[in-house]
Amino acid sequence: AMREAETPKIILPEKFLLLEPTIQDVRDYVPLCLASDLLSVDIETGWGQITSVGFATDAAHAICIPLVDMRKPNKSYWSVDEEVEVWGLIKQVMESDTPKLGQNFGMYDAFWFIEKMGIETRNVLHDTRLLHHALYPELPKDLEFLGANYTQQGAWKSWAKRKTDKKDD
């Protein structure tokens, strides 16, 4: 609040997020993931499957790799061959020695990777949910709360509420 009070204009940090990548975008992003000092990883789930995988190489650059696309008749974002390749690229990143962090990663995301896709996550350095809970056990520990309190982005999940029949995350 003090920082924002110093100027009448609120300037949010610029973000570069690939939301609907091509297969070449994913191929090009993997080396950035592997070279990252600390890679942020997040999944979304629904209907008993991983619906997207997100990687952020720093606070300003990220890619969301969709796997489900409700706009398409077969509900898949990729062709069969592309999806096989995409999962191979995701596996390469997740099984690399690149240090990783995530929100509720050990209790949720890592389980989904190994249980649903046979991907063993290596070198998870931090779980933001557990770190926050260890410091402030009395406070909420969901990602929306953490994002609203630790970043300038605010509670982004409440920006666009969509009703779906999604059953998981």
Nearest to 93 by CA among 21, 37, 45, 31: 31
pLDDT, the chain, mean = 84
- The token duo for 122 is 């290596």
CA distances, 160 to each of 27, 136, 163 (Å):
29, 28, 10
Residue 142 has pLDDT above 60, yes or no: yes
Contact yes or no for 52/67 (Cβ under 8 A): yes
**What pLDDT digit, counting tens, does each position of 53-110 carry?**
999 999 889 999 999 999 999 999 999 999 999 999 999 999 999 999 988 888 889 9
Which residue has better confidence, 147 or 111?
A: 111
For range 117-146, the mean pLDDT: 77
